[in-house]
Amino acid sequence: MSTDLIVRFAGEGGQGQVTAAEGLAEAAARVGYHVQTYATYPSQIKGGPTWAQTRISTEPILHDGDALDVLVVLNREAYEDHIAELRDGGVLVYNAEDFELESNGNAIGLAVDELARSTGNPRAANMVVIGAVAALGGMPPDYFEDFITVRFTRGRPNDEQIITANIQALGLGFDEVTKTGFKVADLDDPPEETHPRVVIKGNDALSLGAITAGLDVFVGYPISPATTILVFMEGNLHGEDKAVVQATSEIESISTIIGAGFAGKKTMTSTAGPGFSLMGEGLGFAWMAEIPCVIVDVQRGGPATGLPTKTEQSGPPPPLHPRPPATPRPAPAQDRAVRPARLPQPGPRRHAPPGHRARHRRGVLQGRHHVPQLGRAVPGPGDPADRDADRRARAGHRAARPDGVDHRGPHRLRRLGRHPPRRPRAGAPQPAATPARS
């Protein structure tokens, strides 16, 4: 028996890897398992290397997992790219209609498309694969039948026919693998449910948190991988004095939420790296005008326009420093535990010297701003470390003059040993000479 099952589906875009991974996760979650999925695909409608991974466990899940228990590949390229990550004793399931392996080992060849066509629904190939994975993990088919019924009941005349074909495809995949005798360790029974659970994506969870915190206005421009936040808000941020606006650019987005914030509304926008770089001037203005707003940066991989459909969490510095200096603000990143956060509260502005305002205004972390993902503290305004750095910077600026002359005062230069001793005034007592040693 095992507490964990890690499955990866790999192939070409459009073959249904992401659908299979999410379907497996949703079905497992319905019977009580903890699940987590991850998918990566190219920025094109169809084609290109694509893979998705599902982890199923009887314990809470905090990461994607390590070596794979089951690898499902639908073409040779996917096999060559991912076979090295299959653990010893793991099982490979491959599409026998696309390629054959010289030495099978722990490998099962399935005619996935042919089995799907035999049910009368060629689009049921995903269920054939899910049935094969269920057999390898020791999960009974009835775990998935209720999921299929709920998923494909949409009020259409042929719903019953589609449901029957998918359940049949699930059984065909299950039976084909059972005949081979291959199996990874059986997954333990799901834990008893103590409270209702939901399978949700990160962007949707973030959006729900913002709505619960009282978000009034959301303005966004479509940009992968942040577009789903805008789509979620369009469908769910409803009510009196609520507004969702699709802007024509990121500059318009930041400008609009600053205006709404000035009117006393709780505001938010979302973007990715390229769009966030366009918001730098707006962020500086929001700080200067003391107008609260929230910007979500869903980071994509790579520099410049990067990899639009692939996420990455390696760039905290841009969110921390996208604007002129002397405008610090908190930039929370995901830590071991995700805690609910309060949106900045619009409030009256206070007039005070710039240094005082930076140290004490509400909505800004005082002292050293802790950024969990960086694992270190960033000096904040008023910190001794920050003041010392500023003092050194001013001293260096004064020393670096175009004429090449060191303009620092004689008292400072004398302490540095770069200035002759002070000459005594006329008539002043002279210090006693130190006798020479014999």
Assign residue 325 the CATH number of its domain.
3.40.50
- The tens place of each residue's pLDDT in the chain, 438 residues long, gives 788 999 999 998 888 888 899 899 998 998 889 999 988 877 677 778 889 999 999 999 988 888 899 999 999 999 999 999 999 889 999 999 988 887 667 899 999 999 999 999 988 998 999 999 999 998 888 888 888 988 888 888 888 999 999 999 999 999 999 998 888 888 888 888 777 778 899 999 999 999 999 999 999 999 988 999 999 999 999 999 999 999 999 999 999 999 999 999 999 999 988 888 889 889 889 988 999 999 999 888 776 667 777 777 666 667 766 666 666 656 665 544 444 444 445 444 444 444 443 333 333 333 333 333 433 444 444 445 555 555 555 555 444 445 545 555 555 555 555 555 566 666 656 655 555 555
Domain limit, last residue, from 381, 404, 422: 381
Q: Do 253 and 164 have their domain in common?
A: no
- The span from the CA of 234 to the CA of 187, in Å, is 40
Tell whether 374 is covered by a domain. yes
Domain limit, last residue, from 381, 413, 430: 381
- The span from the CA of 295 to the CA of 178, in Å, is 51
Q: Which domain holds residue 236?
A: 202-381
Q: Do 57 and 115 have their domain in common?
A: yes
CATH of the domain at 145: 3.40.920.10
Q: Do 171 and 52 have their domain in common?
A: yes
Q: Do 73 and 207 have their domain in common?
A: no
Q: Which pLDDT value is given to residue 415?
A: 56
Q: Which amino acid is at 401?
A: R
| pTM over cut 0.85 | no
Q: Do 112 and 163 have their domain in common?
A: yes
Q: Do 216 and 338 have their domain in common?
A: yes
Helices and strands, number each (H, E), in the chain: 15, 14
Q: Which pLDDT value is given to residue 421?
A: 58
Q: Do 165 and 258 have their domain in common?
A: no
Q: Do 238 and 338 have their domain in common?
A: yes
* Helical (H) or strand (E) element with 107: strand 107-110
Tell whether 286 is covered by a domain. yes
- The span from the CA of 94 to the CA of 106, in Å, is 11
How many domains does the chain fold into? 2
- Judged by DSSP in three states, 285 sits in helix
Q: Do 132 and 82 have their domain in common?
A: yes
Domain limit, last residue, from 330, 346, 381: 381
CA–CA distances in Å: residue 395 to residues 234, 324, 390: 53, 21, 9
